[in-house]
């Protein structure tokens, strides 16, 4: 089972929504968590945006990347362009991508659009990881 880390600046919105989608869409296929360059709290608008489509992320917590070990993950996804700020050992996992999505915490009206972009990207990521697993 592939282990995926979604990382963002504060682990409050984009990475939390990605974790929620990955847990829902990838149930039984991947192990997933999320973190931030610094921890904060899950943004109420992220919780509401996900609840609007039937995914409950209320119990997710905001964690600092420093609480985790890079070797524990196969794939690392940055959602905010913060890849340049990550320690090098996080960039050299089996799979790394930097999605550079708009920050809805700064513009709450874009939460639904960013949520839907994340869903599309998580679904594509799951297909990539499934293909990698199948070819091993």
Which among 8, 13, 18, 46 is annotated as catalytic? 8
How many angstroms separate the CA atoms of 102 and 51, rounded? 20
Closest CA to 80 of 125, 16, 20: 16
CA separation (Å) from 69 to 5, 25, 90, 110? Answer: 10, 25, 9, 32
Q: Token pair of 18, please?
A: 């990605």
Q: Is 8 a catalytic residue?
A: yes
Which among 80, 114, 122, 126 is annotated as catalytic? 80
How many angstroms separate the CA atoms of 38 and 56, rounded? 23
Q: Is 80 a catalytic residue?
A: yes
How many angstroms separate the CA atoms of 115 and 101, rounded? 10
Cite the active site residues: 8, 80
């Amino acid at each position: 089972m592939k282990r995926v880390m979604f990382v963002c600046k504060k682990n409050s919105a984009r990475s939390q929504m990605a974790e929620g989608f990955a847990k829902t869409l990838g149930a039984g296929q991947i192990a997933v968590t999320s973190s931030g360059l610094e921890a904060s709290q899950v943004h109420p608008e992220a919780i509401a945006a996900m609840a609007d489509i039937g995914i409950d992320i209320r119990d997710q917590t905001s964690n600092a990347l420093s609480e985790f070990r890079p070797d524990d993950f196969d794939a690392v996804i940055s959602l905010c362009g913060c890849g340049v700020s990550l320690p090098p050992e996080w960039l050299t996992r089996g799979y790394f991508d930097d999605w550079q999505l708009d920050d809805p915490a700064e513009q709450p009206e874009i939460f639904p659009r960013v949520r839907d972009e994340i869903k599309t990207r998580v679904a594509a990521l799951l297909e990539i990881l499934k293909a990698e697993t199948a070819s091993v």
